[in-house]
Amino acid sequence: MRISMDVELKDIPGQLILALNPISELKGNLISVVHHHEKRTPRGTIPVQLVFEIDHEKLNTIISRFEDSGVEVIRSGEERFLEHGAIIMIGHIIHTDIQDTMDKIDSTGFAEVVDLSLSMPRIDKPSSALLKIDAVGKKEMNDAMSLLKTVAKEKDLLVIEPIETELM
C-alpha cells in the first residue's frame, strides 16, 4: 500500500537519514520526500512529508522505528493525491494504444490517470481525449505531464496541457 506520512525532525544534522533508513531496510519504495528545510514548526522541529510504498504488515514496524529514533510521526495514512490535472490529446489515440499510454503514467507510482473521456467522430478521423491525472505533488504532476508529452510525441499525438500560471 502507498502511505503518505507527515513527520517532524529535530533541527540537528543527520535526522533525514534516520527517517529514510527504516523505509529502505524494510524494502519499502520511497516515492517522494518533501523536506521544508526553511520551515519550522512552533516546536522548532522541521516538517517533512514522505510518500512511500510498503507491505501493509510492516507499517507499524516503521512507525515504531521512527519513534525509537526520535522522528515524530504526526500523521500517517493511505496516500491521497494532492494534485489534480487535465490534459487533452488529439490524434489516432486508439490505434496508438491508449492503454499503453495510460500505463506509462500509472507505472510511475507518483501519478495515475483517473479518468478518460474519449470522443471519436469517425474511425478514419483523429479522435480527441481528455485525461484526468492525479499526482502526489506539483513536481510529480509536471513530471507526469512531461512523460505524457514524450509518449505522445513518439505516437504523433498532439498534447494540449494547461497553462502554468495560476493567477488571480
Q: Nearest distance from residue 86's CB to another protein, in Å?
A: 5
Question: How remote is the C-alpha of 48 from its chain's centroid?
Answer: 16
Q: Check if the beta carbon of residue 94 is closer than 8 Å to that of residue 133.
A: no
Nearer to another protein, 91 or 109 (CB): 91
Residue with cell 495515475: 112
Site mask for another protein (CB under 8 A), range 39-78, x = bound = ----------------------------------------
Applying the rule CB under 8 A, the residues between 78 and 137 that interact with another protein are 86-88, 90-91, 117, 119-121, 125-130, 132
Q: What residues contact 35, with CB distance under 8 A and at least 6 apart?
A: 16, 46, 48
Q: Give Cα separations from 80 to 2, 4, 150, 157 (angstroms).
A: 9, 7, 26, 30
Provide φ and ψ at 82, rounded to 5°.
-95, -25
Q: Nearest distance from residue 96's CB to another protein, in Å?
A: 15
- Give the total of residues touching another protein (CB under 8 A): 25
- Contacts of range 36-41, beta carbons closer than 8 Å, 24 or more positions apart: 40/11, 41/8
Q: Nearest distance from residue 108's CB to another protein, in Å?
A: 21
Nearer to another protein, 12 or 167 (CB): 167
For residue 73, what are the β-bridge partners? 7
Q: Nearest distance from residue 151's CB to another protein, in Å?
A: 16
Q: Nearest distance from residue 130's CB to another protein, in Å?
A: 4
Nearer to another protein, 129 or 148 (CB): 129
* Side chain identity at residue 9, one-letter code: L
Question: How remote is the C-alpha of 94 from its chain's centroid?
Answer: 26
163 counts as binding another protein under rule CB under 8 A: yes
Report the interface residues with another protein, using CB under 8 A.
Answer: 86-88, 90-91, 117, 119-121, 125-130, 132, 158, 160-165, 167-168
